[in-house]
Amino acid sequence: MRAVLALTLLGLASGGGQQQAPAAEFARLLERAGALEPAELETEIEGLLRRGDALELVLSALVARRLPPPEGPEGPEGNGGPEDIGEPDAGPRLESTQEACLLALVRRLGRARFAPFLEDVARTPEPARVAAALRLGGEFAGRLEELTLWTAGAPDAEVLDAFADAVARWLEREPDAAHELALAWRDLGAERARAALEGLERARGPASLACLAALLERGAEPVDGILLTLAAIGPRTSPTEAGELARAVEPWLAEEDSPARAACAALAGLRVPASVPALIGALERPATVRAAHAALRALGGVALPPTPALWTRWFAEEERWWTERAPGLGARLAPGAPPLEPAAVVAVLGELARHPLRAEALVPAVARVLEQREPAARVLACQALARLGSPSALPVLSAHHADAAPEVRDAARAATRALTHEDAPAGAGGI
């Protein structure tokens, strides 16, 4: 059957010709994908698609998730034919940019071109080929049932990972996907539900948040998994969305054990100051004291012991600082304000950086210092943004990865690594 499929694919791709597979050209395109500008990538894709056997090469890489060997999918013997599509003797595993290029090729080829492959997979559902079918579904499926069709039975880890990828891509493409996924959640079963949560985390955007909010409202399972996914997505949530979600999460602090601890993590990720009193209350319960303490330390950036009275006093001081001191500091950095002397820049940024509880509101003020001419001030601003700990600073930091001053470039990159947890926190010096 696979040999028949191979001939079918060759016929679709090349009209029956005997053109040799341009495997080396295909591999070079995927290897260079991350370095190409969008227009250049489009030109390269157009060139490859004009060759006769692009479909064979795309399927081989999609199934194996590896670069094709230089000899092409037919293998080192050159036996000529894609009957071995997806065998593990391919080249290196695909990197994220290479896989993105591969999926761009999939979209350009169109759904109909893959129909024979999908029909064959339905008859012989080997895990690697089912995973490839799911990734195709992520690009083309309109309904959730088109994805769950491929995960019937007891899917293995590879298939579940592909299901997560497919759900993420489906959520990004389909406006009503979040609502449909929430409605069908109970039908997924435990394994597919956890894979779907992974997909929600990978997609991250508004659709993921809408789905998670709906699942919380419905009391869907696994509650701890839903809350932990929200904890992972929360740092990139807008303040308005974060506030609404935090109000939906707080009641789960009263639950037992795992859900309550996951709720603490979710509130830490959402970074909403108004959630602090609820977390202080969770310090009173043995089941949540450790998780609530970790969340409070993450929000406040202070190392107080898990004593409710101390955290209550700290929060009162934070609220007083926010209403009495913060407005004046922000005004000194506002557009049109008189330029600050270097010592004043150090003092203002240092004070702001010591209050990460209000990071979302403070980032714009600190970011304005990056507009100053003096490299030393821009370095201090990068360090302050790292200490505030909010991912909302990532776009402005990214803009300074190519700053004219090398010290600013280094500081911006170090702050980015700190905020993405790729390195130790930056900003130990200077402020």
Which of 312-316, 360-364, 426-430 reaches the highest mean pLDDT? 312-316
Q: What is the tens place of the pLDDT at every residue in 143-175?
A: 898 888 888 766 789 999 999 999 999 999 987
pLDDT at 430 over 60: no
Q: What string of DSSP letters covers 358-427?
A: GHHHHHHHHHGGGGSS-HHHHHHHHHHHHHHT-GGGHHHHHHTTT-SSHHHHHHHHHHHHHHTTSSSPS-
Percentage with pLDDT > 90 across the chain: 53
Query: pLDDT value at position 424?
Result: 38
348, burial (CB in 10 Å: exposed 0-12, middle 13-18, buried 19+): buried
Query: pLDDT value at position 22?
Result: 63
Q: What is the tens place of the pLDDT at every residue in 89-122?
A: 557 888 888 888 888 888 888 889 888 998 888 8
Query: pLDDT value at position 8?
Result: 35
Mean pLDDT of the chain: 84
Query: pLDDT value at position 10?
Result: 34
**Sign of the torsion angle spanned by Cα atoms 126, 91, 77, 118:** positive
Q: What is the tens place of the pLDDT at every residue in 1-48?
A: 343 333 333 333 333 333 444 677 788 888 888 788 878 888 888 877
CA dist., res. 170 & res. 176, Å (int): 10
180 close to 209: Cβ distance less than 8 angstroms: no
pTM, to two decimals = 0.79
Is residue 111 left, alpha or beta, with left meaning phi > 0 and alpha meaning psi from -120 to 50?
Answer: alpha
Query: pLDDT value at position 26?
Result: 82
Cα distances from 230 to residues 159, 226, 260, 266, 342, in angstroms, run 24, 6, 14, 6, 40
Closest-CA residue to 430 (of 415, 273, 422) = 415
CA dist., res. 240 & res. 75, Å (int): 55
Q: For residue 273, what pLDDT band results from cuts at 50, 70 and 90?
A: very high
